[in-house]
Structure 1
Amino acid sequence: MAFSSTLFAITLVILYICSLTTSSIVTSDGTFSINLIHRDSIKSPFFDRSMTYSQRIGNTLQRSFINSKRAMNANPGPNNFQTDIIPAHGEFLMNISIGNPPHEVMAIADSGSDLTWIQCEPCIKCYQQKAKLFNPKNSSTYKSIPCESKICLVVSQLEKRCSRTKECRYSTSYSDGTVSDGIVASESVTIGDKVVPNIIFGCGFHNDGSFRDTWGGVVGLGGGDASLVSQLMALVPGKFSYCLIPFPEPDDLSEKSSKLTFGIQEFGPSFVSTPLVLLTPKTYYRVTFEGVSVNGQRFNVGNESNPSPIGNMIVDSGTTLTMLPTKVYNEVEAAIRNAVNLRTMKDPQKVLKLCYRATKVTKIPKVVMHFDGADVEFTRQNIFVTVSKHIMCLAMAPTDDLAVYGNLAQQNFMVGYDLEKNTMSFKQTDCEKL
């Protein structure tokens, strides 16, 4: 899911009860961590053994182009909490529990949306779901939100929407015509050993469209007031971070997971930070992208008379590729082509432009992303992505829309979001050792 959409897509996933539980770590300092499961991991309910590696990576790359359109249509309509979200395209999943007694759910962790919602009983129209639906009548902590309340205006954004019983309603519509509609409520949410009371979420009674039966909702990790991240600021400081393990190689079927941590996490030395730019809607995590260097040759977005627009890039854990402005992408591609200086190959998925036989590439150019106040140097796995057993391609693509810093660029980096100081930090890390 894009902005997913970072971040944290980061494109930060709720509702499938299964034996593949997501473990959490609760520390004495009040922080807590949870595993992020890549949707193409063997631990994911989306994992399809009938698909080849090339098919899985091809689908993942294609989702980047779909996700990159979301920010261009991000202004909510008068009756929508969030519009133009692409369903079931998030890259990471997470387990949380809703209600008392806890009802465990697995859903899309989406850094590009705010409202957390799940399917609920009694469902007027729901897509087929393998797991049992959440029944608010069975929970002692469920409370619907009156449409006269201030939080209803926050969720509905431009106008309050009331049910016949004066409960606050939400309606989320997606660009492919799918919808989720229901009641805004508060519930206790369990993340690891932490029980957080009075979390605002959507109880969906009308959900229709291109959903899968293993997918049950969304965990909103965006920057808006109704997101899970913002609501958790009452429990822990307004900080969260994640460390994304590399995308599995063709023969790698390990069950390793990435980590998402809420609260303060010490980065130690050798990290860099850039300001988070607050623009409307607050959902997306924006930074100011200035340019890219390849072996010391710098290609800037702007110039002295026309500098880079403030907040011109979204950091999204839910988008796979890094989407660069077309002019900058063309310059970067040409510079990498010259630096590698080998015969190119065709992408078997026909998605990416610059590809090589992987074993032939021994000289990796130095690629540095330049943000306002921060230079982030890439490693081989941030620059190239393996698309088959023998071919790897440049993990970037051109866009004429808003630029996106995708999750391949974030692999093996600790990425921290400080919503109190409005900064984002990066530090190279072996995420598999955390």
Structure 2
Amino acid sequence: MANLSFYQYSSLFVYLLLQLFSVSSENASKGFSAKFIHRDSPESPLYNSSVSPKERLNGVIQRSISRLTHFKSTLNIKTMNSVKNPTININSTMLMGAGEYIMEFYIGTPPFKQLAIVDTGSDTTWTQCLPCNICFKQKQPIFNSEKSSTFQPLPCTSSSCNDLQLDKTCYKANTTCGYRVSYGDQSYSTGVLATETYTIGGISFPKLVYGCSHASHGEFQRDSSGIVGLGDGTLSLINQFRKTIQRKFSYCLLSDHKKGKNSKINFGSNAVVSGSKVVSTPIEKRDQDTYYYLTLEGMSVGKSRFPCNATTRYGKDGPIKQAGNIIIDSGTTLTFLPATLCDNIENSMKRAINAHPIQDPEGYFTLCYKKTKKFTAPTITAHFAGGADLKLPWTSTFYIDDDLDMMCLGFTASEDVNIYGNIAQRDYLIGYDLDKQIVSFKPTDCSKE
């Protein structure tokens, strides 16, 4: 037998191990789950204990602002001064890869471990591949497609290549399909569109369409090797898996990141949200198929209810209200709301909280308090269409930083795009049923899921 390198031995061992425990995609309809790890959690393999509390807080804010900019750029919204704090440089960090949660999976044959940002706001799944001509630095080893027996580039004549529409880079019909994904801060990822075997939660999926990136330039995060697209577009994982998972997925986000605890992301029958206290709201279809639009009717602080007067399109006579005024997104930390609604909530909270506000030294947040054991704040209720009223305790509305001894309301104003961020989604089991076009919410202790 030929001599094998340590890498080859390791890869072969992982491959054989996965074959013992994995299930074919034909059986995936039984449902499966995977770890859904917050990037700042001590349980994350990418956790960096040397990052200061100030740097971690700045990262959270900048990533949320970058996500907002990404949505605005893809929706062709040009206004750049809609964020309440005008001093924030909203183009300073990478847009697409700025999500907050990562997923572990394996790619290729033999399987090669990857950690990538889970993004409900994008469709194309891509990872960096060797040879990497212009690549951002990542903490993980880079995938080498030449060592995988299941890697298969797609031709320009393939239907998947046509699904890329303007994002494909084909010059001749008989050439390999190239893809290019670009972002509002001039960051981009480009490479070859191909099929490959993915293994997620012990389930192997052959011939998954993804981007093998040979050039990625911009302010990308080192925490991941790319993007896992969970949007509603044709090439997203959800629609590629549609026959086996019935276009269902769910997740449950922990309210904190204690050692030994992880959130989970579920697919197929594992993703069904049922039982008492479940409420549902329709997903509204818009011009952009990728995003999950919900209709936020208003919010309440105690007995005071404030309408969400968001305008989502413009006619010849000016702004027109329509259904689907907010995007629910797992990759954005903060919640962005219309300025009037945001101001009403802040003023009501100030009157109800028995403490003196403090100033955020960085100027990002507009309502902050010193962290104390006795701190409490009113429950905020988010009223979605269809009677889906979500009660949010203060632990799901305030960003808490134990190291900085400060807690701040995680809502900020944006007139152009509204986003329901992941702080407000904590401790709810949230299920997406794309065949029924609904999102369901169930109050849940996510540490027990």
TM-score by length of 1: 0.85
Stretch deviating more after TM superposition (420-429 or 187-196):
187-196
| Counterpart secondary structure, 1:299 | strand
Map of 1:295 onto structure 2: 302
- Residue 347 in structure 1 maps to residue 346 in structure 2: no
Q: Distance in 2 between matches of 1:112 and 1:29?
A: 24
Q: Distance in 1 between matches of 2:255 and 2:172?
A: 46
Q: Contact 2:309–2:338 (CA<8 Å) still a contact in 1?
A: no
Task: Letter of the 2:134 partner, please give it.
Answer: K
Q: In structure 2, do the counterparts of structure 1 residues 50 and 417 end up closer, same or farther at CA, with 3 Å as the change threshold?
A: same
Map of 1:50 onto structure 2: 50
Map of 1:5 onto structure 2: none
Map of 1:333 onto structure 2: 346
- Residue 383 in structure 1 maps to residue 393 in structure 2: no
| Counterpart secondary structure, 1:330 | helix
Q: In structure 2, do the counterparts of structure 1 residues 159 and 56 end up closer, same or farther at CA, with 3 Å as the change threshold?
A: closer
- Residue 280 in structure 1 maps to residue 294 in structure 2: no
Q: Contact 2:97–2:227 (CA<8 Å) still a contact in 1?
A: no
Q: In structure 2, do the counterparts of structure 1 residues 240 and 337 end up closer, same or farther at CA, with 3 Å as the change threshold?
A: same
- Residue 100 in structure 1 maps to residue 109 in structure 2: yes
Task: Tell me by how many angstroms 1:25 deviates.
Answer: 10
Task: Tell me by how many angstroms 1:358 deviates.
Answer: 3.0
Q: Contact 1:45–1:214 (CA<8 Å) still a contact in 2?
A: no
Task: Tell me by how many angstroms 1:335 deviates.
Answer: 0.9
Task: Letter of the 1:317 partner, please give it.
Answer: S
Q: Contact 2:121–2:329 (CA<8 Å) still a contact in 1?
A: yes
Q: In structure 2, do the counterparts of structure 1 residues 246 and 163 end up closer, same or farther at CA, with 3 Å as the change threshold?
A: farther
Task: Letter of the 1:148 partner, please give it.
Answer: T
Unaligned runs of 5+ in 2: 1-10, 15-20, 77-92, 311-318
Task: Tell me by how many angstroms 1:260 deviates.
Answer: 0.2
Stretch deviating more after TM superposition (88-97 or 404-413):
88-97
Identity value in percent: 37
Stretch deviating more after TM superposition (310-319 or 50-59):
50-59
Q: Deviations over 1:102-124 (max 9, x none)?
A: 11111111111110111122333
- Residue 403 in structure 1 maps to residue 429 in structure 2: no
Task: Tell me by how many angstroms 1:46 deviates.
Answer: 4.0
Task: Tell me by how many angstroms 1:324 deviates.
Answer: 0.9
Unaligned runs of 5+ in 1: 1-16, 77-83
Q: In structure 2, do the counterparts of structure 1 residues 66 and 211 end up closer, same or farther at CA, with 3 Å as the change threshold?
A: closer
Find 1:219's aligned residue among 222, 225, 228.
228
Q: Deviations over 1:277-309 (max 9, x none)?
A: 111221111101111111121110239xx9853
Q: Distance in 2 between matches of 1:403 and 1:107?
A: 25
| Counterpart secondary structure, 2:239 | helix
- Residue 180 in structure 1 maps to residue 189 in structure 2: yes
Calculate the aligned-residue CA RMSD, in Å: 2.6
Q: Contact 2:28–2:268 (CA<8 Å) still a contact in 1?
A: no
Task: Letter of the 2:377 partner, please give it.
Answer: I
Stretch deviating more after TM superposition (113-122 or 129-138):
129-138
Count residues in correspondence: 400
Q: Deviations over 1:169-227 (max 9, x none)?
A: 10011222222111111111111221111111001112222234443111111111101
Superposed counterparts of 1:145-184, under 5 Å: 145-157=154-166, 161-162=170-171, 166-184=175-193
Map of 2:265 onto structure 1: 260
Q: Distance in 1 between matches of 2:173 and 2:234?
A: 26
Task: Letter of the 1:230 partner, please give it.
Answer: N
Query: Which structure would you say has the larger Rg?
Result: 2
Find 1:412's aligned residue among 424, 427, 430.
427
Map of 1:69 onto structure 2: 69
The structure whose residues are more often helix, as a share, is 2
Q: Deviations over 1:226-282 (max 9, x none)?
A: 01111111222111000001134xxx5x14211000113242111110000111221
TM-score by length of 2: 0.82
